[in-house]
């Protein structure tokens, strides 16, 4: 898979890809991540990427021209499955969205800044709009990092244990059950006995029940879906 991220602030985005699982995924060539600085696609000396809104109103708007130049160049090099715009008014990111995107070959992620992009960018180029939650960030970069992390960990081979993404919270619309490791008794707080029973069907049943109870008490909305 290849992800091209278009941004005015590449430095804000790079570090999540330079550590841990994402770094290993890139080094193992399971995913390629490329950053494109919009200022490299400007044509004036000031490298202008934004301007005032037509009609008045507070806040700057990202210009269509540098975005067009960048996307058009990328599209001339390969075919993209999705061109995603990170925006608080997009579809809320859920596990299912990440699952679907992890199966794509090439995607572009466009990070908005200031008040956002000129509407014509959305009309002309964008195929999908994603929000990471009902709050406003100062730019799409942190949202793009969240989206990329959620996608990349699902690519086969990225996680050491192939089954671990499948047992995450939200896969099957359930939260994950409690987990424990050493010591068995910590200051009187004991690990449930069933986990030492050696009876794996019993342990599985316990985990399923815990996942269900946890979901029912914390996120009953998930059980309605
Ligand atoms: N840009 C600003 N706020 C955002 C959000 N909640 N999700 C994605 N991109 C954003």
What digits encode the pLDDT tens for the residues 47-97?
999 999 999 999 999 999 999 999 999 999 999 999 999 999 999 999 999
Nearest-CA residue for ligand 1 atom 7 is: 131
User: What are the φ/ψ torsions at residue 27 (nearest 5 degrees)?
Assistant: -65, -30
* Pocket of ligand 1 contains residue 147 by CB under 6 Å: no
The CATH number of 169-224, from 3.30.300.30, 1.10.1270.20, 3.20.110.20, 1.10.3720.10, is 1.10.1270.20
Contact of 2 with 31, CB cutoff 8 Å: yes
Q: Please choose from 93, 115, 137, 148 the residue to mutate so as to test ligand 1's pocket, defined by most ligand atoms within 8 A of CB.
A: 137
Give the Cα separation of 207 and 90 in Å (integer): 34
H helices of the chain, in order, are: 10-13, 20-27, 64-77, 95-101, 119-124, 141-152, 200-218, 220-224
pLDDT at 179: 97
How far does the centroid of ligand 1 lie from the alpha carbon of residue 131, in Å? 5
- Give the tokens for residue 120: 């014509």
139 Cα to the center of ligand 1, angstroms: 6
Q: pLDDT tens-digit profile of 151-165?
A: 999 999 999 775 678
d(CA 48, CA 41): 9
Q: Is 7 in the pocket of ligand 1 (CB under 6 A)?
A: no
Q: How far is the CA of 91 from the centre of ligand 1 (A)?
A: 10
Burial of 66 (0-12, 13-18, 19+ CB in 10 A): buried
> What pLDDT is recorded for position 170?
85
132 CB near ligand 1 (under 6 Å): yes
Distance CA 23, CA 45 (A): 35
Query: Are 24 and 157 spatial neighbours (Cβ–Cβ below 8 Å)?
Result: no
pTM here?
Answer: 0.94
pLDDT of residue 162: 58
Ligand 1, atom nearest to 112 Cα: 1
Residue 130 CA to ligand 1 center (angstroms) comes to: 8
Please identify, by atom number, the ligand 1 atom nearest to the C-alpha of residue 135.
Answer: 6
Where exactly does CATH 1.10.1270.20 map onto the chain? 169-224
For the domain made up of 2-152, give the CATH fold. Answer: Alpha/beta knot (3.40.1280)
Nearest to 83 by CA among 39, 117, 41: 117
Plot region of 138 (φ>0 → left; ψ -120 to 50 → alpha; else → beta): alpha
pLDDT of residue 163: 62
Under 8 Å between Cβ of 142 and 135: no
Contact assessment for residue 62 and residue 50, using Cβ atoms and an 8 Å cutoff? yes
Any atom of ligand 1 within 6 Å of the Cβ of 179: no
**Residues of the chain whose pLDDT is less than 70?**
162-163
Token pair, residue 225, equals 């879906």
Q: What would the two tokens of residue 203 be?
A: 């342990």
On whether the CB atoms of residues 5 and 33 are closer than 8 A, the answer is: yes
């Amino acid at each position: 898979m290849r992800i091209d991220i278009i941004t005015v602030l590449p430095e804000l985005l790079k570090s999540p890809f330079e550590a841990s699982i994402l770094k290993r995924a890139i080094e193992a060539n399971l995913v390629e991540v490329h950053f494109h600085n919009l200022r490299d696609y400007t044509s004036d000396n000031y490298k202008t990427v934004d301007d005032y809104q037509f009609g008045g109103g507070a806040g700057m708007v990202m210009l269509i021209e540098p975005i067009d130049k960048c996307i058009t160049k990328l599209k001339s090099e390969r075919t993209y499955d999705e061109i995603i715009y990170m925006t608080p008014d997009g579809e809320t990111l859920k596990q299912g969205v990440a699952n679907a995107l992890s199966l794509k070959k090439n995607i572009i992620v466009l990070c908005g800044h200031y008040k956002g992009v000129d509407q014509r960018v959305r009309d002309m180029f964008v195929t999908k709009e994603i929000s990471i939650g009902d709050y406003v960030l100062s730019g799409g970069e942190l949202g793009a990092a969240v989206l990329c992390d959620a996608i990349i960990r699902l690519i086969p081979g990225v996680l050491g244990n192939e089954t671990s993404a499948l047992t995450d919270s939200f896969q099957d619309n359930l939260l994950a059950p409690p987990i424990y490791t050493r010591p068995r008794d910590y200051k009187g707080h004991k690990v449930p006995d069933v986990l030492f029973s050696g009876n794996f069907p019993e342990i599985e049943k316990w985990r399923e029940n815990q996942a269900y109870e946890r979901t029912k008490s914390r996120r009953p909305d998930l059980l309605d879906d």
